[in-house]
């Protein structure tokens, strides 16, 4: 069915041909059969909710991370300089950073990890409920308990991050195996275990690609009269942790000499 040629897909006015050839009837029958393999009736509302999940879950978190990364880089010009030098050297005369280039950018990746450590986009991950009674770290947790994991606090825990945990220091990840993929519990911006963010690779690519292109193509300055050290880190409370006040910067196109 998937590979069949439907006139209606290409020439809507000739859609009646699909009815005459029986394709439309076969399509309806297929849908009905597939629907029965679900334990419930899949409605348009379910599909809308699913698309909403993907759209909100995907765009909001990635956008928040790019803005926090830019904020930290503006407040740390040495780190901004290092990240720009790395990406500009790696792509040479090309005018766009692509996914392959990203693999040669360890410092940029460290910047993203460090941002996610300090400002995980979903600071309490997604609320969950325990299905059965269990014991964790000496605490008895009954079934049906609401569980919130404070990824924000874990990322700043001085026992896990011994070297100035409050400081933005991407270098802490250079030569370190700690990653955001759910295996290192001190850094879990995407969660961990079976309910870890299913789009972790897409989320990381969104952030790394946007950030790499922003800092590669432009030099960034504060608007006249503003100082980067005064940039605030105020947070807009919500499921996703956004910067409360808009980050206003002046971009100048970078021209390679």
125 binds ligand HEM (CB under 6 A): yes
53 binds ligand HEM (CB under 6 A): yes
CB neighbours of residue 240 within 10 Å? 19
CB neighbours of residue 44 within 10 Å? 7
Using CB under 6 A as the criterion, what x/- string covers residues 178-197 for binding ligand HEM? Answer: -----------xxx---xxx
Q: By CB under 6 A, which span of 37-45, 56-64, 82-90, 158-166 interacts with ligand HEM?
A: 56-64
Q: Is 160 left (phi over 0), alpha (psi -120 to 50) or beta?
A: alpha
51 binds ligand HEM (CB under 6 A): no
57 binds ligand HEM (CB under 6 A): yes
134 is in an annotated binding site: no
* DSSP-assigned letter for residue 109: H
Question: Which two tokens mark 60?
Answer: 């909001």
Q: Quote the distance between the C-alpha of residue 236 and its chain's center.
A: 18
The SS3 call for residue 236 is strand
CA gap 162, 132 in Å, rounded: 35
Query: Judging by beta carbons within 10 Å of its beta carbon (0-12, 13-18, 19+), is residue 235 exposed, middle or buried?
Result: middle
Residue number with the smallest Cβ distance to ligand HEM: 191
124 binds ligand HEM (CB under 6 A): no
Q: Indicate the residue among 97 and 116 with the shorter CB distance to ligand HEM.
A: 116
Contact criterion met (CB below 8 Å) for 173 and 184: no
Query: Judging by beta carbons within 10 Å of its beta carbon (0-12, 13-18, 19+), is residue 107 exposed, middle or buried?
Result: middle
205 binds ligand HEM (CB under 6 A): no
62 binds ligand HEM (CB under 6 A): yes
108 binds ligand HEM (CB under 6 A): no
Q: Indicate the residue among 118 and 197 with the shorter CB distance to ligand HEM.
A: 197
Contact criterion met (CB below 8 Å) for 220 and 250: yes
The one among 1, 49, 52, 54 contacting ligand HEM by CB under 6 A: 54
- What residues contact residue 228 under an 8 Å CB cut-off, 6+ apart? 74, 75, 77, 222
The one among 67, 83, 122, 216 contacting ligand HEM by CB under 6 A: 122
The distance of closest approach from Cβ of residue 178 to ligand HEM in the complex, given in angstroms and rounded to an integer, is 16
The distance of closest approach from Cβ of residue 51 to ligand HEM in the complex, given in angstroms and rounded to an integer, is 10
Annotated binding site: 197
Annotated binding site for heme: 197
Contact footprint for ligand HEM (CB under 6 A): 53-54, 57-58, 61-62, 65, 121-122, 125-126, 128, 189-191, 195-199, 202-203, 206-207
């Amino acid at each position: 069915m998937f590979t069949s040629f439907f006139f209606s897909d290409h020439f809507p006015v000739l859609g009646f041909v699909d009815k005459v050839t029986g394709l439309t009837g076969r399509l309806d029958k297929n849908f009905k059969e597939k629907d029965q393999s679900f334990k419930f009736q899949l409605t348009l509302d379910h599909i809308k909710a699913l698309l909403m999940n993907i759209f909100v879950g995907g765009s909001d978190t990635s956008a928040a991370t790019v803005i926090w990364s830019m904020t930290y880089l503006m407040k740390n010009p040495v780190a901004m300089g290092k990240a720009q030098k790395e990406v500009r050297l790696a792509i040479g005369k090309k005018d766009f950073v692509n996914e392959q280039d990203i693999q040669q950018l360890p410092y940029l990746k460290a910047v993203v990890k460090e941002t996610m450590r300090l400002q995980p986009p979903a600071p309490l991950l997604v609320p969950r409920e325990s299905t059965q009674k269990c014991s964790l770290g000496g605490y008895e947790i009954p079934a049906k308990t609401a569980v919130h994991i404070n990824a924000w606090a874990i990322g700043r825990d001085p026992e896990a991050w011994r070297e100035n945990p409050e400081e933005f220091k991407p270098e802490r990840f250079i030569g370190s195996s700690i990653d955001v993929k759910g295996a290192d519990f001190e850094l879990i911006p995407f969660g961990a275990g079976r309910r870890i963010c299913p789009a972790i690779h897409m989320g990381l690519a969104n952030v790394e690609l946007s950030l790499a292109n922003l800092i590669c193509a432009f030099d960034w300055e504060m608007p006249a009269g503003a100082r980067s050290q005064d940039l605030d880190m105020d947070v807009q409370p919500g499921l996703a942790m956004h910067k409360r006040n808009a980050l206003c910067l002046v971009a100048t196109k970078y021209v390679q000499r």
